Chains A and B, each alone.
Chain A
Amino acid sequence: MRGITRRRALQAGGSLLAAPAIVHHANAQSGFDWKRFRGERIEVSVQLSPRGTLLQQNNREFEELTGIRCGIEVVPEQQHRQKIIVEYASGRPSFDATEISLHVNKRQVGKARWNTDVKALIADASLTAPDFDFADFGAGMVQYATQSDGRMDSLPAFADYFILYYNKELLAARNVAVPTTWEEMFEAAKRLADPSKQVYGHVGRGVKNANVVLWSSYLLGTNQRDMIDANRQLITDTPEAIWAGETYKRFLRDVSPPGSIGFNWNECQTTFMQGRAAMWVDGIGFAAPLEDRTRSRVAGKVGYALVPRGPGASHHCALFGAGYAIPEASRKKGPAWLWIQWALSKQNQLKFLASGAGVPARSSPFANEAAIGASHFPREFFHTLSESAKIARAGLPEIVPVTQFRDVIGTALTNTISGADVAAELKRATAEFRPVLEQSERES
């Protein structure tokens, strides 16, 4: 291999020194300037998550880049969703940019037209950095963030896929292969259980509301896949929905720890981290705490796989996601747009992917082999992630009263863990929620 010549080193050094001037020149041509809003102040509200924390920690970087003072508040996910809706409804939200849970609030904010259409901002060369590269955002995520009327009132930020986590040590000890169907997974969970050591084959969400996304993971494996049909009618008491309910009941009642009825993701995470559960189906964002050697007993022993297949023809995993939006009522849309561009820049999205803080909406981070190779996550994790992206499908219906839907269906599912009949519970819940949905659709 030839060493670096003096000529080549000088050329590289010269290019490096010239880079800022070239960028500045390019920006000058487009009229874009990161410092355009120097001296202004904006408020940003994001959810408490590894990515929210990273943004908060790196806030100074944005302030130095733009000269804009940025107050950033980080609020726990559930409270954040409530807070922004109440503030939007007041007509004078306190934030200039915020995070939107697309799987919960997308239709609600879209219907009320609370946010600015970011397409206009992207098209404005004086406001959008030349290297922003909108084409880098995955088509699926762009579609996920786009409203039915074509407006894109948030820029897609992150995706969250449901995957299968498994404890490699426990599976190897019982010579159990990684399951590829729900049926195989149930049989494997039975074999992996060792109640004398309080080790269980499976752990999953049992608490109402949170549990609907596990049930929808089973439903996505049927030919029905969705929870509302093309006419936007509720289809949660069909034979496929009942099959998904029966599967949910079997997993939670027969192969999960006692008390799972009250387990949310945090109890599931604790149980899996302590090596007390062999398999867990949940969001990909939990990889970071599971691989944290200071907190997790299973760090380095976690296997990652696609969610198993169901009886249907196609294979899907549940998709959830978040976007960043600018309220229509904000008087600082320009500075807020700069913040969103910085927060979702290629560099930041790569940083989040490599640290396990989130699955970026951009495609370029997945192509960065060097960063992925240097990450402390195994290749298997990134492979599962990119394969999940190919089979992802919305894990919740795109309706306004989605939280009420989760509450009503979730209560029915919770009741089945106590032994209630699945068909009867789903029929009752469907009948209870149907008028709520109909009214909401009439008003939409």
Chain B
Amino acid sequence: MTREAALLEQPVAAATAPRRRNYARHYAWFVVPAAAVIVAVIIFPWLFTVYVSAFDWRLGGERRFLGLGNYEALFTDARFGWAVLRTLFYTVLAVAAPMVFGIAAALAFHRKFPLRGLARTVFILPMMATPVAVALVWTMMFHPQLGVLNWLLMQLGLPPSMWVYAADTVIPTLVLVEVWHWTPLVMLLILGGLASLPVDPYEAAKIDGASAWQAFRHITLPLLAPFIVVALIIRTIDALKAFDTIYVITQGGPGQASETINIFLYLQAFAFYNVGYASAVVVVFFAIIMALAALLLWTRSRVRFT
């Protein structure tokens, strides 16, 4: 902005300033209902959770003040440690795979071909399904003897798999469900980004003799970066808080092989009724999510659409 332009804008700003102050003074009360709701459903439960986490409290039993005792126990609880590692492993796979397939699908669906609209619609159908219903259907398909997946493998001359019925294949199999379910979401987000890209850089690149890969690598990918980061944030938060699919299909098993933080938390709170300890898990899990979200938001702030 030039100095002249700034001077020209000054009277306008001066004229509107009193109106803004009136607006704030007269309408501030309108914020109160929303603020009250936020306090009631977010801030109070959160503070209460922190408070409860300071007690040894099992439903139906007495409450005993422990201070930071639950946190001490948590950080020496090997089962919780494994649950954190499994959550991170699951999250990495359940974010990376849908991102790769989602970007590939978006690039494919961005091109013009016959029945493209129908194909896009079919592709996003899994996203519309209820997670619990999806999980139940997949559970039947994973059955080692009666499931359709092993039948298909055998038709192809391949050995049957144990899918979710073995400790070493359970997490990749759960990720498979996640990929099927949520790749369409990534595709939609990236497709939106692709539709908004300018065509000039591509024309210039074509004139300069750039190959399709070079155009993708040096034009499409950098321009898409903000959209990819948004998809990455949404997928990461979704994968971290994944519960319904895992609970319905494996309940954290076999053994504890797919017990993520959420499953561990659920067991502590609603199976063992150990609400004090479970509240400490919530607080720690919240801190982990906040740290990851902050990291991703910082990454997003570094990536700008240019």
Contacts and interface: CB of A to CB of B under 8 A. Distances in A.
Given A208-B253, A443-B61, A271 B146 contact: yes
A70 B167 CA distance: 46
B256 A411 contact: yes
Interface string B273-290: 100000000000000000
Interface string A175-215: 00000000000000000000000100000001111000000
A89 interface: yes
**What is the predominant secondary structure among interface residues of chain B facing chain A?**
loop
A251 to B, nearest CB: 16
A127 to B, nearest CB: 28
B9 interface: no
B125 to A, nearest CB: 27
Q: Which of B160, B165, B255 has the most CB of A within 10 A?
A: B255
B60 A403 contact: no
A116 B98 CA distance: 54
B145 A276 contact: yes
Given A259-B144, A276-B145, A403-B271, 19 more contacts: A85-B273, A86-B270, A111-B60, A114-B60, A207-B253, A259-B143, A259-B145, A259-B165, A261-B165, A261-B166, A262-B250, A262-B254, A271-B146, A400-B61, A401-B58, A411-B255, A411-B256, A418-B254, A440-B58
B183 interface: no
A55 B146 CA distance: 33
Contacts of B62: 443
Interface string A14-50: 0000000000000000000000000000000000000
Interface of B: 58-62, 143-146, 160, 162-167, 250-251, 253-256, 267, 270-273
Given A274-B146, A276-B145, A411-B256, A86 B59 contact: yes
Contact of A270 (B143, B162, B253, B270): B143
A109 B165 CA distance: 35
Contacts of B270: 82, 86
A85 B58 CA distance: 11
Nearest to B255: A414
Interface of A: 82, 85-86, 88-89, 108-109, 111-112, 114, 198, 206-209, 257-263, 267, 270-271, 274, 276, 400-401, 403-404, 407, 411, 414-415, 417-418, 440, 443
Nearest to A110: B60
B255 A208 contact: yes
A415 B255 contact: yes
Contacts of A411: 255-256
A58 to B, nearest CB: 29
B167 A418 contact: yes
A403 B266 CA distance: 13
Contacts of A109: 60
Q: Which of A257, A258, A260, A261 has the most CB of B within 10 A?
A: A261
A401 B274 CA distance: 10
A276 B146 contact: yes
Nearest to A264: B251
A257 B145 contact: yes
A411 B256 CA distance: 7
A132 to B, nearest CB: 30
Contact of B162 (A198, A208, A259, A274): A259
A85 B60 contact: yes
Contacts of B146: 270-271, 274, 276
Contacts of A440: 58, 61
18 contacts: A86-B270, A89-B273, A108-B273, A206-B254, A209-B251, A258-B162, A259-B144, A259-B165, A260-B165, A261-B166, A261-B167, A262-B254, A263-B165, A276-B146, A400-B58, A417-B254, A418-B254, A443-B61
A57 B250 CA distance: 32
Contacts of B166: 259, 261-262
A333 to B, nearest CB: 20
B250 A89 contact: no
Nearest to B161: A259
Contacts of B255: 208, 261, 411, 414-415, 418
Contacts of B162: 258-259
B165 A89 contact: no
Nearest to B168: A418
A257 B60 contact: no
A112 B60 contact: yes
B271 A407 contact: yes
